[in-house]
């Protein structure tokens, strides 16, 4: 009965991972990434891990570590643990119901990943290859995100990554000097794949500032506008009529929190390129739906990632190995982010490429000792 999951225990670990750079939060700069890892073990000793990638503060989406932790320990873990042994599909149905009811995609993704990796470990198959019904390519290219660092340091940073074999650069931009820094990089590297991410920092009034990027041959501009809701954005776009001045493909990230959002954005022509992140979309089932939706409607997709441990990021490495993404993902060495990451192997590129781990489940081992080293709280049932 390999298909039946008979759960022995579920543990949530609240972690504080030391970072190698200053991370901006509402409370100022910190060098810690708080996160939650979920471990599910079955009665045969198989184990699956998932990560809930909500942040400490609600700057990216409304879900936070604290909200997620409380919901896990007060509700989800108890109710999951109380379920009788079932095939994976039954658990997935339950999770999808909670996802619809509570709209906590990152929390649900953490639980779902752990269940899928557990089930796929039992079956001896890789989770991403299994869920996406596809073979993975052997290696993926590196793609680096360069934060909003001082403009006179940008070219030095780009040069360092290009020398490491990076084939795609994404710059974080704001109305302050976003165009200028992007132009600087484009002038120095006329042929590199270049994209920008504004993280909703431009207002609708700044439409023509976004149009200035037209001449920089960008792969895309990610989340240019401070969108209140997709509905409001659709209305505003409609008001612009025939005079839409932006030629750069528009990529959406944080405004797409589910397949339904993506479907809406596609239907109303609001999106040219989709950034795919497992946590933000609510898990692998939603991710599979989103990628298939893009393929069906000929919308480009590519694989993003966040400041997250390799327990979550490794799935993005494998998704980038599906072989039909629009450009290299936001995927670069673990050592850029963390003093020590949580899996063996972690994420590392040689000459700009990484060999994709395709073992059973998550495909890599989770370092349990290291997990405990960084744990600041646990909850087990
Ligand atoms: Mg983004």
- pLDDT digits over 145-176, tens only? 998 899 999 999 999 999 999 989 999 999 99
Report how far ligand 1's centroid is from the alpha carbon of 169 (Å): 13
Query: How many whole angstroms from 372 Cα to the centroid of ligand 1?
Result: 30
CA dist., res. 241 & res. 20, Å (int): 46
Q: How close is the Cα of 79 to the center of ligand 1, in Å?
A: 33
Distance from the alpha carbon of residue 294 to the mean position of ligand 1, in angstroms: 18
Return the closest-CA partner of residue 130 out of 116, 110, 141, 151: 116
Question: Residue 223 Cα, ligand 1 centroid: separation in angstroms?
Answer: 7
Rg of the Cα trace of the chain?
20
Helix (H) / strand (E) element for 146: namely strand 143-146
How confident is the model at residue 58, as a pLDDT?
A: 82
pLDDT category of residue 25 using cuts at 50, 70 and 90: low
Between the CA of 60 and the centroid of ligand 1 the distance, in Å, is 9
Q: Alpha-carbon distance 147 to 194, whole Å? A: 14
* The predicted structure's pLDDT at residue 241: 85
Residue 257 Cα, ligand 1 centroid: separation in angstroms?
A: 12
Distance 145 CA to ligand 1 centre (A): 10
Predicted TM-score (pTM) of the model is 0.95
Measured in Å, residue 249 CA sits from the centre of ligand 1 at: 14
Question: DSSP assignment of 281-299, as one string?
Answer: HTSHHHHHHHHHHHHHTT-
pLDDT at residue number 235: 96
What digits encode the pLDDT tens for the residues 232-259?
Answer: 999 999 999 888 999 999 999 999 999 9
How many whole angstroms from 328 Cα to the centroid of ligand 1? 14
Q: What is the whole-number distance in angstroms between the Cα of residue 308 and the centre of ligand 1?
A: 14
Kindly give the distance from the C-alpha atom of residue 252 to the centroid of ligand 1, in angstroms, as a whole number. 8
Contact assessment for residue 19 and residue 340, using Cβ atoms and an 8 Å cutoff:
no
Distance of CA 133 to the CA centre of its chain: 20
Percent of the chain with pLDDT over 70: 98
Distance 304 CA to ligand 1 centre (A): 7
Which residues are within 8 A (CB) of 260 and not within 5 positions of it... i.e. 6 or more apart? none
What number of residues does the chain have? 381
Question: If you measure from the C-alpha of residue 220 to the centroid of ligand 1, how many angstroms do you get, rounded to a whole number?
Answer: 11
What residues are paired with 143 via a beta bridge?
A: 168
**Ligand 1 center from residue 350 Cα (angstroms):** 25
User: How confident is the prediction for the chain on average, in pLDDT?
Assistant: 94
The DSSP bridge pattern shows strands 353-355 and 4-5 to be unpaired
CA of 299 to the centre of ligand 1 (A): 17
Closest CA to 250 of 216, 221, 211: 221
CA of 147 from ligand 1 middle (Å) equals 11
pLDDT at 30 over 80: no
Query: Ligand 1: distance of its center to the CA of 74 in Å?
Result: 31
The sign one gets for the Cα dihedral 9, 6, 363, 167 is: negative
Q: Residue 46 Cα, ligand 1 centroid: separation in angstroms? A: 35
CA of 221 to the centre of ligand 1 (A): 9
Q: How far apart are the first and last CA of the chain?
A: 24
Cβ–Cβ under 8 Å, residues 127 and 362: yes
The pLDDT tens digits of the residues spanning 71-87 come to 999 999 999 999 888 99
């Amino acid at each position: 009965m390999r298909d039946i999951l008979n759960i022995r225990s579920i543990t949530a670990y609240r972690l504080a991972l030391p970072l190698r750079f200053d991370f901006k939060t509402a409370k100022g700069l910190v060098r810690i990434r708080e996160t939650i890892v979920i471990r599910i073990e079955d009665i045969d000793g198989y184990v699956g891990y998932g990560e809930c990638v909500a942040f400490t503060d609600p700057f990216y989406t409304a879900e936070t570590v604290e909200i997620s932790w409380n919901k896990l320990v007060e509700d989800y873990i108890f109710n999951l643990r109380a379920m009788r042994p079932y095939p994976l599909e039954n658990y997935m149905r339950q999770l999808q119901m909670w996802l619809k009811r509570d709209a906590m995609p990152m929390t649900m993704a953490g639980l779902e990943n752990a269940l899928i990796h557990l089930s796929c470990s039992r079956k001896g198959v890789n989770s991403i290859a299994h869920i996406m019904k596809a073979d993975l390519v052997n290696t993926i290219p590196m793609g680096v995100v360069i934060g909003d660092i001082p403009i006179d340091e940008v070219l030095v940073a780009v040069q360092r990554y290009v020398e490491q074999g990076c084939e795609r650069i994404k710059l974080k931009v704001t109305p302050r000097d976003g165009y200028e820094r992007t132009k600087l990089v484009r002038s120095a590297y006329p042929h590199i794949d270049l994209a920008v991410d504004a993280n909703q920092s431009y207002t609708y009034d700044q439409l023509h500032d976004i149009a200035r990027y037209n001449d920089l041959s960008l792969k895309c501009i990610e989340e240019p506008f401070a969108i209140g809701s997709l509905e409001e954005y659709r209305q505003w776009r409609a008001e612009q009529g025939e005079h839409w001045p932006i030629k750069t493909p528009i990529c959406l990230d944080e405004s797409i929190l589910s397949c339904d959002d993506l479907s809406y954005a596609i239907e109303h022509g609001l999106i040219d390129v989709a950034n795919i992140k497992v946590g933000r979309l609510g898990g692998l089932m939603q991710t599979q739906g989103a990628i298939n939706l893009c393929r069906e409607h000929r919308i480009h997709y590519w694989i993003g990632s966040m400041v997250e441990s390799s327990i979550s990021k490794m799935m993005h490495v494998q998704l980038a190995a599906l072989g039909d993404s629009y450009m290299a993902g936001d995927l670069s060495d673990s050592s850029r982010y963390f003093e020590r990451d949580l899996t063996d192997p972690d994420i590392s590129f040689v000459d700009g490429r990484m060999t994709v781990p395709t073992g059973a489940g998550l495909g890599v081992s989770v370092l349990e000792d290291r997990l405990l080293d960084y744990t600041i709280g646990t909850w087990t049932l």
